[in-house]
Amino acid sequence: MAGPILIAKGNRGQHALRVFTPLDQKAVQAAARTFRINPALDAEAALTEPGVDEALVSLLDEKGRPGVVDRAFVLPPSGRLPPLTPGERSGSRRR
Protein backbone atom coordinates (compact mmCIF):
# COMPACT_ATOMS: atom_id res chain seq x y z
CA MET A 1 0.00 0.00 0.00
CA ALA A 2 1.43 3.41 -0.95
CA GLY A 3 1.81 6.05 1.70
CA PRO A 4 1.35 9.79 1.36
CA ILE A 5 3.73 11.62 -0.88
CA LEU A 6 5.25 14.67 0.71
CA ILE A 7 5.30 17.81 -1.35
CA ALA A 8 7.44 20.88 -0.65
CA LYS A 9 7.25 22.49 2.79
CA GLY A 10 4.62 20.32 4.40
CA ASN A 11 2.07 20.45 1.59
CA ARG A 12 0.69 16.98 1.15
CA GLY A 13 -0.56 14.71 -1.61
CA GLN A 14 -1.81 11.15 -1.55
CA HIS A 15 -1.40 8.40 -4.13
CA ALA A 16 -4.29 6.04 -4.74
CA LEU A 17 -4.78 3.45 -2.07
CA ARG A 18 -5.99 0.05 -3.21
CA VAL A 19 -8.35 -1.81 -0.91
CA PHE A 20 -8.10 -5.60 -0.89
CA THR A 21 -8.47 -6.56 2.78
CA PRO A 22 -10.12 -5.22 5.96
CA LEU A 23 -6.68 -3.99 7.05
CA ASP A 24 -6.40 -2.03 3.79
CA GLN A 25 -9.83 -0.50 4.46
CA LYS A 26 -8.65 0.68 7.89
CA ALA A 27 -5.57 2.23 6.27
CA VAL A 28 -7.77 4.13 3.78
CA GLN A 29 -10.00 5.40 6.59
CA ALA A 30 -6.94 6.48 8.60
CA ALA A 31 -5.43 8.29 5.60
CA ALA A 32 -8.74 10.07 4.88
CA ARG A 33 -8.97 11.26 8.49
CA THR A 34 -5.55 12.93 8.25
CA PHE A 35 -6.88 15.47 5.73
CA ARG A 36 -8.85 18.57 6.72
CA ILE A 37 -12.48 17.92 5.78
CA ASN A 38 -13.84 19.26 2.50
CA PRO A 39 -17.68 19.06 2.61
CA ALA A 40 -17.76 18.81 -1.19
CA LEU A 41 -15.46 15.75 -1.34
CA ASP A 42 -15.63 12.27 0.18
CA ALA A 43 -11.90 11.83 0.79
CA GLU A 44 -12.22 8.17 1.72
CA ALA A 45 -13.90 7.30 -1.58
CA ALA A 46 -11.63 9.63 -3.54
CA LEU A 47 -8.50 7.89 -2.19
CA THR A 48 -9.49 4.67 -3.93
CA GLU A 49 -10.61 6.12 -7.27
CA PRO A 50 -8.21 8.76 -8.64
CA GLY A 51 -7.59 8.66 -12.35
CA VAL A 52 -4.35 8.97 -14.26
CA ASP A 53 -2.46 12.17 -13.36
CA GLU A 54 -4.89 12.92 -10.52
CA ALA A 55 -4.11 13.25 -6.80
CA LEU A 56 -5.66 14.44 -3.57
CA VAL A 57 -3.82 17.43 -2.18
CA SER A 58 -3.95 19.66 0.85
CA LEU A 59 -1.86 22.82 0.80
CA LEU A 60 -0.75 25.00 3.67
CA ASP A 61 -2.15 28.52 3.91
CA GLU A 62 -0.01 31.62 4.54
CA LYS A 63 0.03 30.88 8.30
CA GLY A 64 1.07 27.24 7.83
CA ARG A 65 -2.35 25.72 8.54
CA PRO A 66 -3.48 22.84 6.31
CA GLY A 67 -6.17 23.69 3.79
CA VAL A 68 -9.07 21.45 2.86
CA VAL A 69 -8.32 18.41 0.73
CA ASP A 70 -9.24 18.56 -2.95
CA ARG A 71 -8.57 16.76 -6.21
CA ALA A 72 -5.79 18.06 -8.45
CA PHE A 73 -4.31 17.11 -11.80
CA VAL A 74 -0.57 16.53 -11.95
CA LEU A 75 1.10 17.48 -15.20
CA PRO A 76 4.22 15.52 -16.13
CA PRO A 77 7.48 17.47 -16.12
CA SER A 78 8.59 18.94 -19.38
CA GLY A 79 11.13 21.51 -20.39
CA ARG A 80 12.11 23.91 -23.12
CA LEU A 81 14.24 27.02 -23.48
CA PRO A 82 11.81 29.70 -24.70
CA PRO A 83 8.88 30.75 -22.49
CA LEU A 84 5.39 29.45 -23.21
CA THR A 85 3.19 31.48 -25.50
CA PRO A 86 -0.13 32.68 -23.98
CA GLY A 87 -1.97 30.01 -26.02
CA GLU A 88 0.30 27.24 -24.77
CA ARG A 89 -0.04 28.46 -21.18
CA SER A 90 -3.86 28.38 -21.25
CA GLY A 91 -3.81 24.98 -22.98
CA SER A 92 -1.75 23.40 -20.20
CA ARG A 93 -4.45 23.94 -17.58
CA ARG A 94 -7.08 21.22 -17.26
CA ARG A 95 -10.53 21.64 -15.71
What is the per-residue pLDDT across 37-64, written as a single tens digit (0 to 9) for each?
Answer: 899 999 888 888 777 778 888 888 888 8
Q: Quick one: what percent of the chain has pLDDT higher than 70?
A: 77
Please tell me the distance from the alpha carbon of residue 38 to that of residue 7, in angstroms, as a whole number: 20
Report pLDDT for 1. Answer: 40
Predicted structure pTM score: 0.56
User: What's the first-to-final CA gap in the chain, in angstroms?
Assistant: 29
Q: Calculate the average pLDDT of the chain.
A: 76
Report pLDDT for 39. Answer: 93
